[in-house]
Amino acid sequence: MKKIKVGVVLSGLKNQGPVNVVRTLVNKRKSVKYTIFCLSDNIDDIILSEFIDYGVEVYFTKENSFFKRILFLYQILKKHPQDVIHSHGITADLYCCFIKNKKISTVHNRLLEDYIPLFGFFVGHMAYYVHAFILGRFNHLVSCAESVDVILENAKINPNKSVIRNGVNLEKFKVLNPDEKEKLRVQYGFDHKDNILVYCGSLSKRKNVIGLLKRLQLNANDRLIIVGDGPLDSECRKIVEHDARYIFTGSIESPVNYYQIANVFLSASESEGFPLALLEAYASGCILFVSNIPSHAEISHLLNNNCIYLFDLSDMKINIPNNIFENVPAHQNFSKISDAEMSRQYELLFHSIID
């Protein structure tokens, strides 16, 4: 299969879901030559070095002006022409709608459902209608989940669309044997009596972390590791500041070790696209105890309801069943959530766009 040139447009280069999807695509590439175009200098040096090590060229601008960013994108694409442009997120989509290349956008969120908590009622609606109009100008849309595709279908935004679920690096996120797990637990200051739960993600309103902390009922041997930061960081810490069972790590490069020592992954999110953190935790051996929202229900179906429990967001208290820590069934269905499968589907799509 002939190699094609795909230019990936991102608003920034930080350790977040869409960027991590791109990292996977670059890592698993076979018939594609990727180039990264970043619309700001908001760049994580570790991720930048990773792309450079893979031989991928990265171009970014320090300009804050809307028109200068359009000019940057226009000029850099003229100098480094691409067969297909692959955009991620509302900011990148906005700038890409001004270029004439064949272009694809991956929709990572649930649009209006996410924009109202993020921007407020009026600005959230405005962002939704603007984004919907922009997405209609793309050659093809990719939904990161079936539940996202339903939203695009109902809104009749663009008839040319498909679903490619986010995939997990199964070489990195894997189940440890009992001896390895116990050794890693000791390294992090835990022992075999501790029931370790982990949350990983932004400390934000949409992720409902405050609701989780206020309603979660922990037992004496339970420990909750909270991985990540965000606008509600201080408020979250204050809620449990005198309880040593809650451990905050802040933002870290990779949560894999925390997943591998944990028994349970927790999420009380009110909205998700297709949560990569949840899948990575599952691949690392965690039981999933998560809110009953469309994307989590989709994952439950994908995993044949194996090792996943759904709770209702209206529950006044969130109780972890004691038997969740006992007789853990074997995890399965890894092939369905692999990064290799995701990359394969994207490469087939890129080729179909230019054929």
Q: What is the pLDDT of residues 199-240, one digit of tens each?
A: 999 999 889 999 999 999 999 999 999 999 999 999 999 999
pLDDT at position 342, please? 94
State which CATH number among 3.20.10.10, 3.40.50.2000, 3.30.360.10, 3.30.200.20 fits the domain covering 178-337.
Answer: 3.40.50.2000
pLDDT at position 330, please? 64
CA distance 225 to 266: 10
Q: What is the pLDDT of residues 78-131, one digit of tens each?
A: 999 999 999 999 999 999 999 999 999 999 999 998 899 889 999 999 999 999
Here the contacts of 129-134 (C-beta below 8 Å, separation 24 or greater) are 130/90, 130/94, 131/90, 131/93, 131/94, 132/157, 134/90, 134/93, 134/94, 134/97
Cβ neighbours of residue 25 under 8 Å, at least 6 residues apart?
A: 8, 32, 34, 342, 343, 346
Percent of the chain's residues with pLDDT above 70: 98
> What is the rounded average pLDDT of the residues 170-187?
94
> What is the rounded average pLDDT of the residues 138-155?
93
Tell me whether domains 4-167+338-354 and 178-337 share a fold: yes
> What is the rounded average pLDDT of the residues 37-46?
95
Domain boundaries, the chain: 4-167+338-354, 178-337
- What pTM was estimated for this model as a whole? 0.86
pLDDT at position 307, please? 86
What does CATH list as the number for 4-167+338-354? 3.40.50.2000
pLDDT at position 206, please? 87
Strand (E) or helix (H) holding 38: strand 32-38
